[in-house]
Structures are given as C-alpha cells and as structure tokens.
Homo-oligomer: A and B are copies of this chain.
Amino acid sequence: MDVRRPTMKDVARQAGLSTATVSRVLNGHPNVTPEVRTRVLAVIEDLKYRPSRLARGLRTKITPVIGLIISDIQNFFFTSVTRGVEDIASRNGYSLILCNTDEDINRERAYLEVMHSENVAGIILASACETGHDPNLYGGQIPIVALDRLITDVPLDHVMGDNVGGARTAVKHLLSLGHQRIGLITSHQRLTTGRERQEGYEQALAESGLPLDPALIRRADFRRVDDSRQQALDLLGLPHPPTALFTANTLVTLGTLTAIRERGLCIPQDIALVAFDDIPWGSLLNPPLTAVRQPTYELGTTAAEMLLARIADPLRPPTSIRLKLQLLVRESCGARARLAPVGEAVADAPDVARVVSERR
C-alpha cells in the first residue's frame, strides 16, 4: 500500500498526459478537449486524487481561506456571528479558520501571525483592544474587517451594531416605565462597545433631563462573571439603590442576575432589568429577559460580504456599517413579546413585531 498521497504527476502519468493539462482540467480552463477532460476526471476519481492547497497556494499566492478571530467562543454573540460568516464564506468557496483569543491581545497577535503565514485571503477580527495595533500586522497586504469593536489606529472596514442607539433605547424603555434611578453595569473602557453603550445610557438620561449619578455607574472586568456579580451586589446594597439596572453585555448580565437572585430580589417588582445582547435562554428565565438584541447572524454575513468585496477590490475606500438593533420586550404575564426597532431608524424595518410568548 502506497502511503503517499497521489500528486498531479501521478494523475498525468496514468492519463498519459502532462501535468499542465491536468491542471487545466482542474481549473476549468477552456482549452481542453472534452474527451481529454473526461479521461482526466476518471483518473482523478480512480486515484482518489486531491489537489494540495498548500502547493496551489504557494504558487498562486492566494488561498481560499478566511480567518475569523473572536475573543470569546463561549459567547452566544460570537457563535451566532460565526454562523453568518461561515455561511457566506462557504457559499463563496472559502473555508473558515476560527480562532479564539480569550480577550488576550497576545493571542490575537499570535493568531494574526499564523494567518499571515498561512496566507489567508482575508480576516474578520473582533479585536481585544481599540488601539495599539502594529500597522505591520494589522495594516499589511491582507484585508481585515473589524467586527463589533472599533479599531481607531488603522484604517479598516467596520461592521458593528449601533451600540449607542441600542443602549439609549434600552434606558429609555426603563425611563418610560417610570424609573428614575437606573444603574449601569458595563465593562472596562478599553473596548469601544462598553464606551458606546455608556454613551447611549447617558444620552437617554440627558434627554429626560435626569442627572447623571456616578455612583450608579459600575465597571466590571467583563471576563470575570464574579466581578459583575460583585458590582451588582454593591449597587443593590446602596443606601439609596437604583430601581432599575441596565447591563451592557452578556457576561455582565449573567453576573447581575446571579446577584439579584442571591439577594432574593424579584424582577420586575423589586428591580427592573434590561440587558444588552439577548441570550438563547432569555425567554426561559423568570421573568423572561428583556434585552436589546443585536442582529448577530447578519453582523456575520455582512462582515463576510464586506471582506469578500475588499478581497475583490483592495482599493475601495474603507467603509463602516452600523446595524440597527432591536429592543426585545418580553412580558411575563402578557403572553407576548414586543419587538421595537431601535437606533437610527431604517425605513424598511417593521415597526413592531409581535411574537407569542410563554404563559406563566
């Protein structure tokens, strides 16, 4: 048994042709007799020949692979985005290398190095930080689309949600419910997402003429659920505690819910909550979670399409897309959830979508 994988040479020999012709068949070149073409195909089938991407990539300098670098593979936001990216990629003949940095800038760099040396066609990147990027690694000849997080020190294409608008709507919802003291638990300010969501929070308060109480704004290390929990406990333990909470990302929401539960508080009687980012189990919580939902899958497809466009035309000017978010109001008693559009209004969006929810 021959342990060696068959090469193009083997195919050529067995078909009594040259490797050039085999290559032409493989690449759908016009100048090939149908007769020859079928013969080559037969031999390929027979030998179970599979072209080496390595060799091809080395020669052509292009590989049909795109890289996706995310910071938390456990986060529903990113896995959902990934599916979007993947669908567009595979539909266009690209395969996907997915890498998880765990919010570690060094791992991010390492993976970028890998992708450079693998010569991938393009990269979609949710960077662990906003600035401090080596232009050589990030601004090189390989196209990069920044996902979810703004990168300000290198000119790139961007795809992200309308964080400010989403946060503003979330807080306005709480305001409309009559809350006057609304706490914010967010992440550190290294990431634009955290800052933008805080911006939305502040805008909403300002628009209602409410003062900003710094004591109600907390930052948690958003990788450590326990830290969010602690911040929430602090907030709830204040002499004059907030009546509502806005949590700026999934991990913070998790920690906050844990804290609320520990304190034996009930939502919404004791404390109201609106979360940024929906979660798969949101409707099963008690009460079901009200959240600003990002169009995660579309974020993924959009980023992938943008990357493909840039691969096709490296010279097009950098573009930036903000996707509209929706506030998903789940009502525990009303047997329904309301979907309210959010952020920069877009004409073609439904004003209110209604989905039947669970009884309780």
List the interface of chain A (C-beta within 8 A of B): 3, 5, 48, 50-55, 57-58, 63, 65, 73-74, 76, 79-80, 82-83, 86, 90, 95-100, 107, 110-111, 113-114, 116-119, 136, 141, 254, 257-258, 261-264, 279-281, 283-286, 358-360
Given the contacts A50-B113, A52-B58, A284 and B258 also touching, CB distance less than 8 Å:
yes
**Minimum C-beta distance from A294 to chain B (A):** 15
Task: Give the complex CA separation of A76 and B283 in angstroms.
Answer: 17
Are A5 and B95 neighbours in the complex by a CB distance under 8 Å? no
Which one of B58, B63, B257, B284 lies within 8 Å of A55 (CB-CB)?
B58
Q: Are A95 and B83 in contact (CB under 8 A)?
A: no
Q: Which residues of B contact A51 (CB under 8 A)?
A: 117
Does B79 lie within 8 Å of A73, measured CB to CB? yes
A74 to B97, CA, bound (A): 16
CB-CB under 8 A for A5 and B258, given A116-B50, A117-B51:
no
Contact of A281 among B83, B254, B262, B359 (CB under 8 A): B254
Instruction: Tell whether, in the assembled complex, residue A53 and residue B359 are in contact, meaning their CB atoms are under 8 Å apart.
Output: no
- CB closest chain-B residue, reference A286: B286
Q: Are B360 and A261 in contact (CB under 8 A)?
A: yes
- Beyond A86-B100, A262-B358, A264-B360, 13 extra complex contacts between A and B, CB < 8 Å: A50-B113, A51-B117, A52-B119, A53-B119, A74-B83, A79-B79, A83-B100, A90-B107, A95-B114, A254-B281, A261-B359, A263-B359, A285-B286
Provide the residues of chain B in CB contact with A54, threshold 8 Å: 54, 57-58, 63, 117-119
Q: Is the CB of B76 within 8 A of A80?
A: no
Q: What separation, in Å, do the CA atoms of A98 and B69 have in the docked complex? A: 11
Smallest Cβ-Cβ distance to A53: which chain B residue: B117
A3 surroundings in chain B (CB, below 8 A): 141
